[in-house]
Structure 1
């Protein structure tokens, strides 16, 4: 996929598979809702979650965004990068509000109570991309 096609895919979707590295080296995979902040993937999670502990120890992450049901519909992107943690509460609330707004298709007034209630227990993260791999099976065999 072109850079613009990858950007459109990442922008139009709301969920991704986040891979972090467990202490024993095995992958830890979870589905995460995300937002775009400064054209980068951003998410938030509870500070004590396994993914947060993994990122604290090793900031390398992989984000998988994919779509399609049949083989010739499959397309996706793997974004390899480093997760930058944000602990300052205004930043956490900002990222949280962006994620919740996108996750639930809500307006600002509807987002604020939920974000305020949970932000104190969370950290936010921005994924600094290092490498991207992508595919679009719609382009195969003239499809």
Structure 2
């Protein structure tokens, strides 16, 4: 078995890694043809991730023109601890304010530390299971959502690595 095969994450490891990490670096193609790279908070969604951003941002303009991106999530201080996922993705741009509001709530609940089973699902109606959204959070998200768009990243090619599987040798 090649070293590359040894460090590849399994589907369950990929899911766990996406759940564990907090920041994604998203590369889009700018109007001059060069990559535009930006960090974002995200939440796991389907087999990829989702987030929101200001509709007037450069990444939003880039994705409206060309809805493809490359995503990087990585961690590890030393070579033997490097772990990460890089994927090419088709990106769905969500402009419906109600859907963007749900996405914002899902995102903020994740970063506030709400366990996944208590979050209101972003893709569902308000009658789905989940803890009630505090009025203060709902008010904040409600004011932000009209200025934002949702982004759903659906992977088309995934590369992963986990050097901890090598036991300190390479």
Identify the TM-score tier after normalising by the shorter chain: over 0.9
Partner SS state of residue 56, structure 2? coil
TM-score, normalising length from structure 1? Answer: 0.92
Q: Tell whether 2:137 aligns with 1:111.
A: yes
Partner SS state of residue 154, structure 2? strand
The runs of 5 or more residues in structure 1 that have no matched partner are none
Match of 2:36 in 1: 28
Q: 1:95 aligns with which of 99, 103, 111?
A: 103
**1:73-119 C-alpha deviation (Å, 9 max, x unpaired):** 11000021011011111110011111111123367215312211100
Based on CA coordinates, which of the two structures has the bigger radius of gyration? 2
Match of 2:51 in 1: 43
Q: Is the Cα contact below 8 Å between 1:35 and 1:95 reproduced in 2?
A: no
Aligned residues: 142
- Give me the whole-angstrom Cα distance separating, in 2, the residues matched to 1:5 and 1:37: 15
Match of 1:11 in 2: 19
Structure 1 segment 76-95 matched on structure 2, within 5 A: 76-95=84-103
Partner SS state of residue 156, structure 2? strand
- Give me the whole-angstrom Cα distance separating, in 1, the residues matched to 2:98 and 2:45: 14
The runs of 5 or more residues in structure 2 that have no matched partner are 1-8, 115-130
- Give me the whole-angstrom Cα distance separating, in 2, the residues matched to 1:103 and 1:51: 22
- Root-mean-square deviation (CA, aligned residues, Å) is 1.5
Q: 1:133 aligns with which of 134, 146, 159?
A: 159
**1:2-37 C-alpha deviation (Å, 9 max, x unpaired):** 121111111111211111111111111111000123
Match of 1:65 in 2: 73
- Give me the whole-angstrom Cα distance separating, in 2, the residues matched to 1:59 and 1:19: 11
Q: Which runs of 4+ in 1 moved over 6 A?
A: none
How has the CA–CA distance of structure 1 residues 47 and 120 changed in structure 2, closer, same or farther, with 3 Å as cutoff? same
Name whichever structure is richer in strand by fraction. Answer: 1
- Give me the whole-angstrom Cα distance separating, in 1, the residues matched to 2:77 and 2:20: 17
